[in-house]
Amino acid sequence: MIRLFIVSLIYFYLTACTYVQTTSGQDYLSKYPTQNEYHERDTFHRNVDDEVKQVAAIEPQLDFPARIGIAKIMYGKLTSMSYDEANLWFQARETLDSQFGEFVPVSPLIAEMVAGQKSYSKSLSNVIRKIRLGAARQHLDAVLIYEVYGKSQHSSNLLSLMDLTIVGAYISPGQSLEAQGYAKALLLDVRNGYPYATAEGFATKEGLSTRVGRSARENALYEKTVLAATEQLIGSIRQIFVELKQKL
């Protein structure tokens, strides 16, 4: 009961983690220190100030209808969506009015083609670079980058005593399975890198298995849980687009 309560709290927290940004870089920098204050600071802080100014000098420029790319990251690499994931995104697109525009998967092949030799680096910044370049080649206005990951585990229960017998290992559900799935997303402007929104999804599932075939069942439970987290994420994305259209 306590574990269920804790999982419920985590679920509530993660599914509520959506953020939409439409603030102006120009307005933000208007509150920056004056030139006199700037020159009074030491070299290190002036260099940091210059970096902050460069990063903050960005404006939202997304207009609807737009061409929105969808890019999936898994194990630190841009990858193609599974059939089930693509179907979830298709259903989400059908629930949105056509005034939002069209949704286009970012092709890993195109991204690799335009990224060049630097694409072999596995750093997150390089993966984002590759996605933006691929999305630019596909003439997309913004790209929704989402990452999925999770974990699974198993433990023996009271019925595991039957695992010591040949028949029991095949028919007795002596293994308890548990899996957790996570999905995070970032909506990014392709042209200037403006971050319009972030969102997260979370799911957890439990199951039972015999000792024989446990690995396959554990993997299947893991896949279902990650897919459920993705579905939760997509539900938040729909609301994000509605809110963005109102604010922009």
Residue 15 lies in a domain: no
Residue 180 lies in a domain: yes
Provide the CATH number for the domain around residue 87: 3.40.50
Helix-strand-coil split of the chain, %, nearest 5: 50, 25, 20
- 3 belongs to a structural domain: no
pLDDT at 12 over 50: no
Q: Is residue 4 part of a domain?
A: no
Residue 7 lies in a domain: no
The candidate with the shortest Cα–Cα distance to 227, out of 14, 75, 71, 85, is 85
**Residues sharing a CB contact under 8 Å with residue 131, sequence separation 6 or more, in sequence order:** 69, 71, 78, 106, 111, 143, 145
With 0-12 CB in 10 A as exposed, 13-18 as middle and 19+ as buried, what is 243?
A: middle
pLDDT band at 132, cuts 50/70/90? very high
Answer for the pair 138, 106: CB distance below 8 angstroms, yes or no. yes
| Contacting residues for 37 by C-beta, under 8 A, at least 6 apart | none
Same domain assignment for residues 52 and 65: no
pTM beyond 0.75: the answer is yes
Q: How confident is the model at residue 136 (pLDDT cuts 50, 70, 90)?
A: very high
> Helix, strand or coil for residue 75?
coil
135 with 39, same domain: the answer is no
pLDDT (0 to 100) of residue 146: 93
Do 175 and 199 share a domain, yes or no?
yes
| pLDDT at residue 13, rounded to an integer | 43
Average pLDDT over residues 12-16: 44
- Identify whether residues 91 and 33 lie together within a single domain: no
Domains in the chain: how many in total?
2
Cα separation of the two ends of the chain = 44
Q: Determine, yes or no, domain membership for 5.
A: no
Assess whether 159 and 222 both reside in one domain: yes
Same domain, 85 and 199: yes
Q: Do residue 138 and residue 242 come from a single domain?
A: yes
In terms of domains, do 41 and 140 share one? no
CB 135 within 8 A of CB 100: no
pLDDT of residue 238: 83
Residues 45 and 114 in one domain: no
The winner for highest mean pLDDT among 36-50, 110-124, 125-139, 220-234 is: 125-139
219 has pLDDT over 70: yes
- Residue 221, pLDDT above cutoff 60: yes
pLDDT given for residue 106 in this prediction: 94
Mean pLDDT, residues 69-94? 88
Instruction: Tell whether 35 and 116 lie within a shared domain.
Output: no
* Residue 169 or residue 248, greater confidence: 248
Report the chain's mean pLDDT, rounded to a whole number. 79
Residue 42's domain spans which residues? 20-57
For residues 41 and 142, membership in a common domain is answered with: no
**46 vs 216, higher pLDDT:** 216
What pLDDT does 42 receive? Answer: 64
